[in-house]
């Protein structure tokens, strides 16, 4: 039976490379997958999944008005699995569409994304994936400062932590650090940095 998966982790935990790995494993067996990513994330171009290791791949961007269920239902070929990167940017409606793909079309859906933002609030997509997914798995990484397990994302600007502002600000290592709870509240600030 198909299931809805939510694999979450802090920044820099290897979520995007995991999407690419799963796609490769299916395709090596000549099984078609459909890969999506958020239309919001434009770090490497809209509709591109890229990992910090340099791997990249084209994907279908999900926008506010995208109906993923209708796209998959209308597909001309058998799709063995749906893979979604940057799942935190999904809307509640998108997540409901994913449940319909699993329940009505019997196609597994694997989503990958952040659980919480830099203010330690759940993203909309993450909130509903935590509610509706049968399988929830954490992809672990370590704190930028100490090596403990990172469970939070620290936004930095000009060498200083930022704890409020717009929820979505696209960025990578220049803006966000995976951190443990202690270093979220007490980051190690480099002295003399403007």
Place of tokens 């979505």: 168
Active site (annotated) includes residue 86? yes
Q: Could you tell me how many residues make up the chain?
A: 194
Q: By C-alpha distance, which of 81, 42, 82, 79 is closest to 61?
A: 42
Say which residues have a Cβ less than 8 Å from residue 93's Cβ, sequence separation at least 6.
Answer: none
DSSP label of 87:
G
Active-site pick, 77, 86, 93, 134: 86
Q: Rounded to 5 degrees, what are φ and ψ at 71?
A: -60, -45
Residues known to be catalytic: 86
């Amino acid at each position: 039976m198909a299931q809805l998966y939510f694999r979450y982790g802090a920044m820099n935990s290897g979520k995007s490379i995991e999407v690419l790995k799963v796609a490769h494993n299916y395709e090596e067996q000549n099984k078609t997958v459909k890969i999506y990513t958020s239309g919001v994330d434009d770090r490497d171009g809209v509709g591109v999944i890229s990992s910090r290791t340099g791997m990249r791949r084209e994907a279908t961007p999900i926008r506010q008005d995208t109906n993923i269920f209708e796209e998959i239902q209308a597909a001309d070929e058998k799709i063995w699995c749906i893979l979604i990167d940057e799942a935190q940017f999904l809307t509640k409606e998108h997540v409901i569409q994913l449940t319909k793909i699993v329940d009505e079309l019997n196609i597994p859906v694997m989503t990958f994304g952040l659980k919480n933002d830099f203010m330690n609030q759940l993203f909309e997509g993450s909130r509903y994936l935590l509610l509706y997914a049968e399988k929830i798995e954490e992809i672990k990484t370590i704190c930028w400062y100490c090596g403990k397990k990172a469970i939070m994302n620290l936004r930095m600007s000009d060498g200083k932590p930022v704890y409020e502002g717009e929820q979505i600000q696209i960025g990578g290592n220049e803006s966000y650090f995976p951190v443990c709870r202690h270093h979220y509240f007490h980051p190690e600030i480099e002295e003399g940095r403007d």
